[in-house]
Amino acid sequence: MSRLPSVVLLFLLILQSPTSADDSNPFFAFCMDTHDSQKRSLMEQAEMLHDLGFDGAGHLWLDNLKERIETLDEFDLRLFQVYLRVSLDPEGEPYDPRLDESLPLLKDRDVTLALLITGLPPSDPNGDSRAVEIVREIADMASEFRVRLVLYPHFGDWMEKVEDSVRIAKKVDRPNVGSMFNLSHWLKVDSEENLERMLTEAAPHLFAVSLNGADHAAEIQSGAGNFVQPLGEGSFDVRRLLDCLDNLGYQGPIGLQCWGIEGDAHEHLSRSMKVWREWHKE
């Protein structure tokens, strides 16, 4: 067989190389089942996400984890995140004891555990030492299965701000522990003028990002705005966030937050995916 000219080989490589943000940033959906009026099964959810063009899904807590993995596998989709509550309350269990039996299911799947940390008032530094102890314990368990951890800031929790997650990630000092930026929860606790500065400081530790349509922070914090909507809705310009991430060279996964969106999940996911593709065409 004759060899192809080098210029032809170069052209073929260029055609096969990823060039869009869709390629560099896998796009997955999570919490798409919490308020779905159609009450879809896990298999039906996987089929829907596949048909709409998502790269995979996130999974709330440890219930039905094996089934979630199997149904996503059926459609060649990826499980991106599994959410896990952690408590700093010394009177209770620090985390779901089923984690020990769940981690083997995640081995070598490039899945992250997203930790939501509660048990003390938001951002209380008195919780740092206990949080570091628990996160290190989970991180060391997870490393055996090549599972990473992201510290998930959540409004009203002890770990409420992105700065909290970065601070703890630094103190934990494990290579498989990083931070996550969640647009919806950030808009409830911060000022929009801080977006670029905060993301720049978080960038070295940023393992994951979630976004959604939303109103401006001032509207949300006054009670007049909605902090979780389909993409393309709300007064906040999500493209500003995407531009910042692009400038910082972020190439990790991006999750579509769907918690609390009422109605048929297929309908609002379709709208969000349409907007996502339009933005990347631009």
Question: Is 6 within the bounds of a domain?
Answer: no
Q: Which residue range is the domain that position 84 belongs to?
A: 26-281
Full-model pTM: 0.89
209-240 pLDDT, tens digit per residue, is 999 999 999 999 999 999 999 999 999 999 99
What does DSSP say about strands 56-60 and 27-30: parallel, antiparallel, or unpaired?
Answer: parallel
Question: Is 7 within the bounds of a domain?
Answer: no
Other CB atoms closer than 10 Å to residue 34's CB: what's the count? 12
Total of domains in the chain: 1
Question: Is 11 within the bounds of a domain?
Answer: no
15 band by pLDDT with thresholds 50, 70 and 90: very low
Question: Is 2 within the bounds of a domain?
Answer: no
Question: Is 118 within the bounds of a domain?
Answer: yes
149-173 pLDDT, tens digit per residue, is 999 999 999 999 999 999 999 999 9
Question: Is 135 within the bounds of a domain?
Answer: yes
105-137 pLDDT, tens digit per residue, is 999 999 999 999 999 999 999 999 999 999 999
Question: Residue 251 sits in a domain of what CATH number?
Answer: 3.20.20.150
Question: Is 221 within the bounds of a domain?
Answer: yes
| 147 Ramachandran zone, left/alpha/beta (phi>0; psi -120 to 50) | beta
37-73 pLDDT, tens digit per residue, is 999 999 999 999 999 999 999 999 999 999 999 999 9
Q: Mean pLDDT over residues 8-29, rounded?
A: 51
Instruction: Measure Cα distances from 204 to 122, 169, 200, 213 in Å.
Output: 24, 11, 8, 26
Question: Is 19 within the bounds of a domain?
Answer: no
